[in-house]
Amino acid sequence: MKRCKALFCVALAGVFLTAMVAGSYAADKGSTIKIGLLLDLTGSMGPGGIDMQKGTMLALEKLGDSVAGKKIQFVVEDSASDTGVAVDKAKKLVETDKVALIIGPINGGGSVAVGQYVDRAHVPKVDAMMIPNETAERDWSFAPVGVQVQVAYGPGVYAHDTLGYKTATAMAADFVAGHDFIGGFKLGFEEKGGKVIQETYYPEGTTNVVPFLTALKPADVLMFWGTPSDCFAMFQQYRELNMKMPIVMPEDGGVLASPGMLKNLGPAAIGAVFGSSYLFNANLPGNKEFVEAYQAKYKELPGVMAGVGYSNVQLVWAALKAAGGSTKSDAIYKALKGVSIDTVRGHLSFPAGQGGFGLIANYPNLMGKIGPNMEIQPIPSVGEVRVKLQNGKWAPFVVR
């Protein structure tokens, strides 16, 4: 009997902890809105997924745990940075947990596959981060961070028009994101009159990039993109080779805009210019208050994933309010399409007449530079980078 009681207490404690973490509350049927939080909490994207969860949970505290008189319940699932797992967990969230909406996943492959599933299930999905261009036909997926070519396009324009570079050599990890980021930068750079003279791709997971660095053709600028582990290897080896080309990253690689990660890069990162989805020191509505709350709770500055996680909840809350607290997929879908809101990342809205897919019509192209003391410096961007659908793909352009 005592053993049973002990097991019961352990089980009860587990339920209580889950409720605390996921923001669950006891509520009568119909008085709770369930939201699936499908994040990469383990695997290669695990550190970013954990940071995003921190920003998301802080949003639940700061923005309130109810919308339109209904309690919000987050049902948290780990997509494990794996496409198959992401789809399985999405099916569980929709078919078993009966969520009204899914936020996530982060991994691009998972985002594409889950997007195909929610199209069939007619359940809205808000993508956690920027996504591959190949997802353009997904109608029930909203991507408030945009597509990868969109994010990379602005730094390409900036490298030519503001920094004055005429030639670039490019190096990136050889998978969809690497090709999309190279492609977006190249579009912006060459549309303005620049020339990418070389594109080099190294196998994903490569830790020794010296052979690729030494094979680069000299140019005015090196356009580089890689995952966090790639960045740590590349910047260290770049410095050891005493290479001098200035570096522009079309997207920060999960490192340059994240204070906790940046400190591990070392002096080779000084002077690097990058595009980003969030900057903790950007002068945007509500950002200062968010940063202060994040520091108070977690004793650190928020990186990109945390800021995007907070912003995604701001977007979802606005849509749920506009839908009057409805849990019907069609109502939430329609409300998301009409959202226009200031967030800690900038003003978010979705374009009319192009399905539910999430390009950001009024999103400022955030950019930064690593200063002489390894500090993150916001720099003036090229303007808003929007996209238009052409031949089944998103084509970026700048609106000043």
Domain ranges across the chain: 2-145+284-349, 149-276+364-399
Residue with tokens 């490569």: 206
**pLDDT for the residue numbered 15:** 39
Task: Assess contact for 223 and 171: CB atoms under 8 A.
Answer: yes
For the chain, percent of residues with pLDDT exceeding 90? 62
Higher pLDDT, 14 or 245: 245
Give just the sign of the alpha carbon dihedral 358, 187, 225, 276.
negative
Task: Assess contact for 41 and 49: CB atoms under 8 A.
Answer: yes
**pLDDT for the residue numbered 45:** 79
3 Cβ contact partners less than 8 Å away, ≥ 6 residues apart:
none
The domain made up of 2-145+284-349 has a fold known as: Rossmann fold (3.40.50)
**pLDDT for the residue numbered 137:** 62
**pLDDT for the residue numbered 268:** 85
Mean of the per-residue pLDDT values of the chain: 86
**pLDDT for the residue numbered 261:** 84
pLDDT in tens, 316-335: 999 999 999 998 989 999 99
C-alpha–C-alpha distance, residues 53 and 86, integer Å:
16
Are 2-145+284-349 and 149-276+364-399 in the same CATH fold? Answer: yes
pLDDT at 253 over 70: yes
pLDDT at 12 over 50: no
pLDDT at 227 over 70: yes
336-348 average pLDDT score: 90
136-157 average pLDDT score: 85
**pLDDT for the residue numbered 7:** 42
**pLDDT for the residue numbered 200:** 97
**pLDDT for the residue numbered 262:** 86
297-312 average pLDDT score: 95
66-70 average pLDDT score: 90
pLDDT at 347 over 70: yes
Q: Which CATH number fits domain 149-276+364-399: 3.30.300.30, 3.30.360.10, 3.40.630.30, 3.40.50.2300?
A: 3.40.50.2300
Task: Assess contact for 256 and 371: CB atoms under 8 A.
Answer: no
Q: Render the burial of 291-330: b for 16+ CB within 10 Å, e for the rest.
A: bebbeeeeeebbbbbbbbbbbbbbbbbbbbebbeebbebe
pLDDT at 134 over 60: yes
**pLDDT for the residue numbered 136:** 58
Banded model confidence at residue 393, pLDDT cuts 50, 70, 90? confident
Higher pLDDT, 384 or 181: 181
pLDDT at 28 over 50: no
**pLDDT for the residue numbered 265:** 85
**pLDDT for the residue numbered 354:** 54
Task: Say whether pTM exceeds 0.85.
Answer: yes
pLDDT in tens, 33-51: 999 999 999 987 788 889 9
Indicate the range of 87-96, 206-215, 288-297, 330-339 predicted with least confidence: 330-339
C-alpha–C-alpha distance, residues 172 and 153, integer Å:
15
pLDDT at 1 over 50: no
295-303 average pLDDT score: 96
Banded model confidence at residue 23, pLDDT cuts 50, 70, 90? very low
229-244 average pLDDT score: 92
Backbone angles phi, psi at 30, to 5 degrees: 95, -10
pLDDT at 383 over 90: no
pLDDT at 126 over 60: yes
pLDDT at 10 over 50: no
Indicate the range of 186-195, 306-315, 351-360 predicted with least confidence: 351-360
Task: Assess contact for 73 and 33: CB atoms under 8 A.
Answer: yes
